[in-house]
Amino acid sequence: MKELIFATNNKHKIMEVSEMLKDCVTIKCLSEVGLSGEIPETAETLEGNALQKAMWVYERTGKDCFADDTGLEVEALGGRPGVYSARYAGEHCTFDDNVNKMLAEMEGVTNRKACFRTVICLIEKTANGEPATQDRGFSVRYFEGRVDGVILTERYGEGGFGYDPIFMPDRFAVSFAEMPLEVKNHISHRGRAVAKLVEYLRTEN
């Protein structure tokens, strides 16, 4: 079975993605391949950050790997926090810090439309390369997933992570944090991006 390094040590992400990829790929997290330290995330787009993180792993291992970056884009906030979602409340903030800031900023706001977007960047060694990367001997591919919904006025549910307790996807009456993992994986932004990755891995490998 193909082995991929996932550029994270986030146990929640690893659990979600491993479940979705278990039939076609063996996932290794950073600690399992002896990598530690802060991965840079200085790009201005989700695509840029995903590429930056995947390249950080590839340059240190030379092995096939992938990274994701996710942003919560809130219409009333002009698309914020977007690429800064993980550090919305400042460097070294917690999930609760981010949720608290979002609830405070959205207090009294009637337009609560929002969307989650995930971009996955996959880097694979290749014999011939591709036009943009042929001199380096690897290929780069992107897979995107999106889900629309609303920001709730308070937390609901104990599951999930990040903004899950205050995000309710369209056509559902519960937050991501109230959903069983298999349901969330089927309809979430990350689930949709991973589904495209799985489709590629099954057809191309």
25-65 pLDDT tens trace: 889 999 999 998 888 889 999 999 999 999 999 999 999 99
Query: Could you give the 3-state DSSP secondary structure of residue 7?
Result: coil
Q: What is the CATH number of the domain that holds 97?
A: 3.90.950.10
Q: Are the CB atoms for 47 and 38 separated by under 8 Å?
A: no
Q: Please return the burial class of 121, using the count of CB atoms within 10 Å of its CB with bins 0-12, 13-18 and 19+.
A: buried
pLDDT at 203 over 90: no
- Percent of the chain at pLDDT > 70 equals 95
Domain count, the chain: 1
Enzyme catalytic residues: 69
Strand 2-6 vs strand 25-28: parallel, antiparallel, or unpaired?
A: parallel
Query: What domain range includes position 16?
Result: 2-204
**For the segment 124-181, what is each residue's pLDDT rounded down to a tens digit?**
987 654 544 545 688 999 999 999 999 999 999 998 889 999 999 999 999 999 999 8
Exposure string for 170-184, b = 16+ CB within 10 A, e = fewer: eeeeebbbbbebeeb
